[in-house]
Amino acid sequence: MSKLQSHYDVVVIGAGPAGYVSAIRCAQLGLKTACVDNWSNNKRQSSLGGTYLNAGCVPAIALLESAKIYHLLNHELSRHGIHAENISVDISQMMRRKDKIIETLSNKIVDIFNHHKITRIHAQAKLLNACEVEITPVDHSSSSIIKAKNIILATGSSPICLPCAPIDNELIIDSTTALSLDSAPKKLGIIGAGVIGLELACIWKKLGSEIVMLEAQENFLTLPDQQISREAYRIYTQQGLEMRLGARVISTKKGHKKVTVEYQDSEGLHCLRVDKLLVASGRKPNTENLIAAEANLMLDENGFVHVDENCRTTLPSVYAIGDLTSLGPMLAHKGIEEGVFVAEQIAGVHNPINYDLLPCVIYTEPEVAWVGQTEQALRAIGERIKIGTFPLSAAARSHAMGISEGMVKIITHAETDAILGVHIIGAHASELIAEAALAMEFSASGEDLARTIHAHPTISEALHEAALSLEKRTLHLPVGTLAS
C-alpha cells in the first residue's frame, strides 16, 4: 500500500480496466490521484487489473492458447506431415503459465502507477458522501477516511448466483474457479451458453472434457447477427460441444464426486450427471457494500448505478464507469473508454463515447466479433440494406493456416452505402474487427472498403471480398455461392 494522504483531486475505487485506466489518465492530466482496490491473489497480495486480468478475459485467453496447442498436437499435426508421440498435458504447469502472465501484467500496472505517482491503496472502500471515502485495509486493521474533489466508482461485476445451483467451488463452480482447475473434468456441465460459458467450454473441450451446456433461452447467441450465430452453433456442435437449448435448471444435487442436475425443456423433466457443474449465467454489478445508505446515491432495480450520458451519478462529482452502469455492454474496452472519458471531463475536456461502435468479441475457436447493427435489428425497423458475405473457406491464407471455417458479413445502407454493421466468425476475428470499427468511425462506405487495397494472401482479404460482394463482384468466389 502506498503512503496514504487525506486529500486528493480524484479517488478511483476499483482497479480493473475502467478503474486503473481512469486513474492513469487522471494522473497524466495533472490530478493528484489515488486508486483503492481490494483484489488479493492466492498469496494474499494486491493484484491490480480486476476480474478482467485476474480471473476473466486474460487468463481465459492464456488458457485457450495452451489448449489450442494441445489440441493441434493431438488432432491436426499429421496434416502438416509432422508426427509426434506420447503427447501429454500438464494442466498444473498450464495454470502456472497463466498465473505468471497475470503477475507480469499486474506488475506493469503497478509500474505505471509508480511512474505517475498514483497512490495505490489495497483496501475495501465505501462511498460515504460526495467527497469522502472510508478505507478499510484488507487485513481489517483500523479504518480511515480520505477526501476527494472527485470520486470514480469502478468496482466491476461478479458472477450471478443461482438458488438452484449453489456454488461451493468444488463440485459446483463459478468462472473464477473454472480458470484454475488442476485437471480436466471428465464431464463438465455448464449452465448458460452465453459468452462466458462458451469461452470456458472451448478451453476444457480442447483439454479433453466432455461438455454439456444447458441454456434456458430457446435461441442460441442472441446478441450477434443471427446468421453468424447459426454458423457458430454449427461449428461448435461439430467440435463436440453439446448444447441443449430451452433447458431450464430446476435443481442440483451433489453426490460422491458427482453433481446431478434436474432441468426442464419442451419435452419434460430430465436429469444430467456431471463431474463438475459450472454456473455461467451472467454477471451483476459490484455495488453491494460499496455505498453507504446515507450517501443517497441512486441505484436501479438490478443494482446498477444510475448515471447520465456523462457517467455522472446522482451525487455531484461522483462518477460510475465500466460494469457498474447499464450504459453499453459489460466489456473491458467499454470501461477503458469511460475511464478516459471521465478523467478528461474532470480536467475540463469533453470527448464523447460512441456506444454504437463498440466492437464485441467472443474468444472461442473460431472467434466471433462484431460491430454496429445486426441484420435482424435493421430489418425490424424497416431499414433498406445491402448485405455482402464471404466465407473464409475461399481465402488462400485460411487454407494455408488450416483454419478455414467461418465468414465475414458486411451490412450497408441500400441508398447511401454507409457501413451499418460488420460481423465475423473465424480465425483472428478479434483482430479483423478493428478495421471495421475504424472504417465505421470515419463514416466509410462499402465502396471505400472495397477500394482499399489489402495484402494478398491474408485473412483480412475476407473483409475486402465481403465488401466487393455488396456489388456482386467478388474475385475469389463465384457470385451467389454464399447466400446472404
Any idea which residues carry the catalytic annotation?
456
**Residue of 234, 172, 240, 182 lying closest to 210 (CA atoms):** 240
Q: Nearest CA to 50 among 82, 13, 86?
A: 13
Scan for cell 478495421, then name that residue: 435
Identify each DSSP E strand in 51-179 by its residue range. 119-127, 132-137, 144-153, 157-159, 172-173
Bridge partners of residue 282, in order along the sequence: none
Radius of gyration over every alpha carbon of the chain, rounded to an integer in angstroms: 24
Q: Among 283, 281, 258, which residue's Cα sits nearest to residue 191? A: 281
54/193 Cα distance (integer angstroms): 22
Quick one: angle between helices 57-75 and 195-206, nearest 10?
40
Look up cell 491474408; give the residue: 458
350-359, long-range: CB < 8 A, 24+ apart: 352/309, 354/441, 355/327, 355/328, 357/437, 357/440, 357/441, 358/328, 358/329, 358/331, 358/333, 358/334, 359/333, 359/433, 359/434, 359/436, 359/437
Cross-strand partners of 127: 133, 291
**Residue 15 corresponds to which cell in the numbers above?**
482497479
The three three-digit cell numbers of residue 11, written as one number: 479517488
b/e burial code for range 300-321 (CB count within 10 A of at least 16 → b): eeeebbebeeebbbebeebbbb
